[in-house]
Every structure is written in C-alpha cells, then in structure tokens.
A and B are shown apart, each in its own frame.
Chain A
Amino acid sequence: MEMSIATAREINKLMARYGVKFGIYKNGGFIEQLFPYDAIPRIISRDEFARLDRGLVQRVDALNCFLRDIYSKASIVADKVVPEEFVYISKGYMPECAHIVPPAGVYSHISGIDLVQAKDGAWYILEDNLRIPSGASYPLIARELSRIAAPEAFSDNDVTDNRNYSEMLRETMDFVNRGGLNVILTPGRYNAAYFEHSYLAERTGALLVKASELAVEDAVLYMKDYLGVKAKVGAVYRRISDEYLDPMTFRADSLIGVPHIMDAYRAGNVAIINAPGNGVADDKGIYYFVPKMVKYYLDEEPILQNAPTYLPYYEDDMKFTLDNIKRLVIKDVSEAGGYGVVFGSGLSEEKLAELKATIIKEPRRFISQEVIDFIDLDIMDENGGAVPRKADLRAYVLTGKSTRVWASGLTRFSRVEGSFIVNSSQGGGFKDTWVLSR
C-alpha cells in the first residue's frame, strides 16, 4: 500500500481541522494534542478477519456469560474453575451489583479486545477491556478523512467501509434502552477522551451530558432541559468509571457522578453501558481464565489464544515465574493503561531480586507472561520513508441483540524503535485498520 507523504500531510491537516485530539495532564496543566496518526494502514485479509471475528465473538460472549454468572449464582466459582479469591479480591468486583440483572442481560456492550500478531502470524489476546474501552472514534474519523484526502486508495483496494460504527453503537444503545433518551455521560471537557465523547454523541444522535444535567427521581433517571422540563433517560453510555458513577453507592466524594443512578439501574429503569462491575472480568488476573470460560459456558474450544500466562498464585507457576523471570513480562493486575508492566530483561539484578520478593509476598497481585515478539508495521518517518515499529490492535466488539465485531479497529504503534509500549498515554500513535472485502 503506497501512501505519499503529501497525502499523509493532507490527512493530518484534516485531523487538525476537525479537532481530532486527546488531552493529557502535564506539569499540572491540561493540554490537548493531536493523536499522532500514521497514514499507512494496517491491512487484514478477509479470511484472517473472518477467523478473528469468530474468535472475538466467542470470547466476548463467554465474558458476558461470566459476568452474568458472577453477579448471580457464581457457578464457575462453585465449580472451582475460577478460584474464589480471584473474583472477590478483584478491584473490579462490585458487590453492590450482585443480583442486578442489566437490561437484556447484557453486561459488556462495548468490548475493546487488545490483540497482537506474532512474527509467525498467530494472533494472541493481550487484554480485554470491558469497562470503558476508548479509541474507536479515531479510526472512524481517520477513515472519513482519508477517503477525502486519498480517494484512490479506496477505489483501488477493496476495503470494507468501517463508517457503520456509529450505527452499530446506536443499535447497541437502542437495544437495551428502557424507554427514553440515549445519553453519553462525560466527566467533561477536561477528560482525555473528550473528543471521542462529543464525536460519538454527534454521530449516534445521543445527547452528551455531564452529571449535573441529570437527576434521579423516584428511581427514574431524567435529563432536565433549559426551561426545567424533564425527559426520561433510557440508556446511559457512561464514560465515567464505576468508582465515580454514583456517590450514593460508590465513592462518596465523587463530583462527576449522578447520585442515585444505581437505584434507577437496579429498578430496571435505565441501562448503563457498560454495566457497572465489569472490571471483575477484565482484571489481568481473571484474564488467565478466559479460555477456560469459553469451555465452561459455551462448551467450545477457544479460537483465539491468550499470550502464555502464568499465575504465581499457583505453586508451579510461581516456580516457573521466579526461574524464568528474566525473559518474562510481569504485570501488576491492579494497574491499567500500560502502567505496572515490567520486562524482566530490562531489570538489574538488584531490581529483579526486589521484584521476586514482592511476587513471593503478594502472589495474587501479579501475572507473568511470555514476551510475544509481535510484528512491526511500517510507519512513515518525517521524510516519507518507512520504518518498522511495534503495533497492536484493539478490536471493538459490540453486543446487543447479537455480538458483532467492527470490521476495523484501532492499530496503535510505539513511536520508539523496539519498544512494546503502544499506549497513547505513553506517546504512541495510531493507524487506520483496513479489513479487505475480497
């Protein structure tokens, strides 16, 4: 796929025109910057995507089954497939959600599944994001703008149009809507993903609101207009984490939450997207058990594999982890966004010993994984030349009436040669992801 540097510049100019930005806090201030975009797309063949599609649908269906089970009978725990402590000690487990059945029984409406492709072509799941997976708006608008700047790229290749994401999202909201408006709840203008919140609101026709614009009365959620007229809200796509969602239920000091929203939710009067309490299923410790969930709930063989993972919680895995720590990557299960990830190969002997001691002391806090030498994708340098950089893929899987995979995704790359850290919060950039239609 040829993309000239002139075209790349045009696309980036259009990005600036439409304010495609994300915010970061730096030195005590909030600044917004353009999300570095690379014009060379990642290309996934039709057959390869068909396999990913089946595997992702299967995985997300199993994760939804797991959430439904954990917050009701917890049979997977009773059957000793998942050890109890992994569930109840998880920060993502919300006891307040026990026995609440969300509208239509859907917990993870929007799942962001992070994958990498190894050098031999095999795909591995790195992480499930079932709380507030962000990022879909970037490839969505990038495609829109690339079609303007580089029309021949699309007339000469058979690329599946990805601009149906907003329809998929709206259908997902409509499917669980309990009667009333669809709203997107944002913490506000100074959130890192505010562009995404406002863009998705525009594209789906949902209203973008802050908590102060919503109120619960008699276990019903309302939005008040500027003259005080109330309108019922039927579905909330919230971009606020569980802890801050409702000061009456979770953190009492939250100023960005809606008091009593959990009451409206418990009464079945509003859908919350994604359901509160999902963090128990995308916990790095629970990740290990997802292939087992596929078998347990669906009685199928997992189509997509996890990266080989060890739980120091198990004696054998502890020994393996300590013996092989130099070639493993160690992840602190309580951290997110690329934080708390340590490569054994990068540590001094002294630091290694420290890490080992911490793992022995708190085995439940860590997982260790084989480092997958995932592929580099070409990105364009300042002169229009191509340089290889590590890249992953976040696939977006939407669950409403059925579970569907968006035929695109967010390909994130590291801008540092050889680095495996692709997160935007750590300076990474993104690419469009083409799924070929033929």
Chain B
Amino acid sequence: MKTVRFKYQTELAFSSPASEHRFLLRILPLSDDRQQIESLSWHIDPSPVDTLWKTADGFGNDALAGQINAPHNRFCFGIEGVAEVSGEPYISSGEPPRMLLYPTELTRPHSGLVDFYESINNGINNNTSDDINSSVPINALYRIQHFSHAVHDRLRYERGATANSTSAAEAFDIGAGVCQDYAHILLALLRLDKIPCRYAAGLASDYGETHAWVEAWAGARYIAIDPTRDKLADEGYIALSRGRDFADSSIERGVFKGTCRGTQTVSLSMEIS
C-alpha cells in the first residue's frame, strides 16, 4: 500500500449562460481492498448550489445530485483527498452481477470484433501460460492480459478520432481512439470470452484527464487492467465509478437550459509516496 494524495477538478465553460442546470456527479470514490479512501472533500462552483444531495446510482456508485437555477457561465466540480492504494490490481468481491456478461449498446461486438476475438482466442490456445506467480487462476489472468495486449496493439491512441458516443465496434473500425474506446473494445472481447467485466472511470497518474480502464472477473476477485497503457492497475489508479460501459459510469451528467456546451478543462494531480 502506498499513500496517494489526489486532487481533481473539471471546469465546464459555457458559450452562453446555462440555467436550470441539473447535474449528477459520480466523483466520490468508494473504498475497497485496492483503494482505501482515508479522506475526501469535494467542491462545486457556483456555490452555494440551489439544491444538493448525496445519492447512489443504480450501479452502486456514490454520487452528488443537484440543481443550479440562476444563469451561469461556468460549472466547476472537483475532489481532493488521500487514499491508501495497493500496487496489486486485485479487488475482492462477491459474485459479479450476471449482466456484466452481456453486451450493451456501446460494447456490442460486430463481425469484425468477433473475428478479432477468434484470432486472439486461437493465439491463446496455441500458447501455454508460463505465469505461475499468482493466486488468481492463471488461466483467467493470462487470458485477460492477452486480450488487453491485443487491444493495445491493435488500436492507435488518438484524441478526436472518436466521441463519447462511439461504440466499441465503431472505434475498432476506425482503428484509433482514447481510453474509453480501448476499454469498450476490451469489454466486448472479454464478454465474448464469457468473462464478466466492468468499466471503471477514475483518476490515473500522469494522464492529465479522467481515465478509463477495465475490471475483469477472475474467479473470486476482479483484476483492474488498463488496455490503453497495456498494464495492470497499480498505485497510480483510483476508481471513481463503475458500470457496464461509459454510459453507465460517466463522471458527469447534466441537463440545462441554454444553447450548447462549451469547453472542458481538467486538472488532475496524484502524488504517490
């Protein structure tokens, strides 16, 4: 375990004032055996907001819900805290919900992804694992990592190539994307392999904005794995929310009266000691 001081903020600047703004923020990390949250504070600006309450979403994440009525040009939210984070990627849990085995709109495989899955699967079956240094069933960990490698090798990291609404299949055809797309494609492959898995959104060191990775079930616990960087999660990862895909676990959702959304600025720092 290492001590991690984290600080994160997103600022939305609107091109014209927003009013009657309702929002849901999934920015409150929960403790588990990979991340122990020792202290946490949050802030929202403009302040004070008209109504604000703490809630939970349908996927077990903590969240802040609220409303700002008066016109405002910017909306800012963030958290700051200290966590003890493990260098190991494992998270113990009860049996995963069965829904994590099935595709969602954003992770539904098309024939290209199915072919890709088949080719990776054939590759795995022709090799045997030599990783015996783990209490997780070797086969599961090995498979999960193998799929993650394949996604990492196949995709090119490129901002702007995809959008929030881009599905795994679309990103796969484009051949490029960001962390969300890497995660969606890996989720699609793992689910084809009958491995229950979930999308994790959160903070990662040296990433500069919120990150996304995958937590895959490997019999008795989840393994947090980051296909974008092709590595298992370590002390540099703090999960804020989880769901079947991006749509379930997006960090911020909002509706407001106004013309359009403006620019988003994220600042994020993690000090690991």
Contact = CB atoms under 8 A, between A and B. Distances in A.
The answer to whether A binds B is yes
Interface of A: 74, 77, 84-85, 88-89, 93-98, 100, 215-219, 247-249, 252, 259-260, 262-263, 266-267
Interface in B31-59: 51, 53, 55-59
B255 interface: yes
Contact of A260 (B24, B56, B248): B24
A196 to B, nearest CB: 28
A82 B239 CA distance: 35
20 contacts: A77-B98, A88-B102, A89-B103, A95-B244, A96-B57, A96-B248, A98-B99, A215-B67, A216-B65, A217-B53, A218-B51, A219-B65, A247-B253, A248-B24, A249-B57, A249-B58, A259-B255, A260-B65, A263-B65, A266-B56
Contacts of A217: 51, 53, 67
B58 to A, nearest CB: 3
Nearest to A263: B55
Contacts of A97: 58
Contacts of B99: 88, 93, 95, 98
Contacts of A93: 99
Nearest to B248: A95
B160 interface: no
Contact of B22 (A96, A218, A260): A260
A262 B63 CA distance: 13
B105 to A, nearest CB: 10
Contacts of B51: 217-218
B58 A248 contact: no
B98 A84 contact: yes
Nearest to A85: B102
Contacts of B101: 84, 88
Nearest to B58: A96
Interface in B1-44: 22, 24
B11 to A, nearest CB: 20
**In this complex, which of A97, A249, A263 has the most chain B Cβ atoms within 10 angstroms of its Cβ?**
A263
Contacts of B248: 95-96
B97 interface: yes
Contacts of A218: 51, 53
Contacts of B22: 248, 259-260
Closest 6 CB pairs of A and B: A96-B58, A259-B22, A88-B102, A217-B51, A218-B53, A248-B24
Contacts of A216: 65
B255 A247 contact: yes
Given A260-B22, A266-B58, A248 B98 contact: no
Nearest to A250: B247
A260 B24 CA distance: 8
B98 A219 contact: no
Interface string B65-81: 10100000000000000
B24 to A, nearest CB: 5
Given A77-B98, A95-B99, A259-B22, A252 B253 contact: yes
Interface string B206-240: 00000000000000000000000000000000000
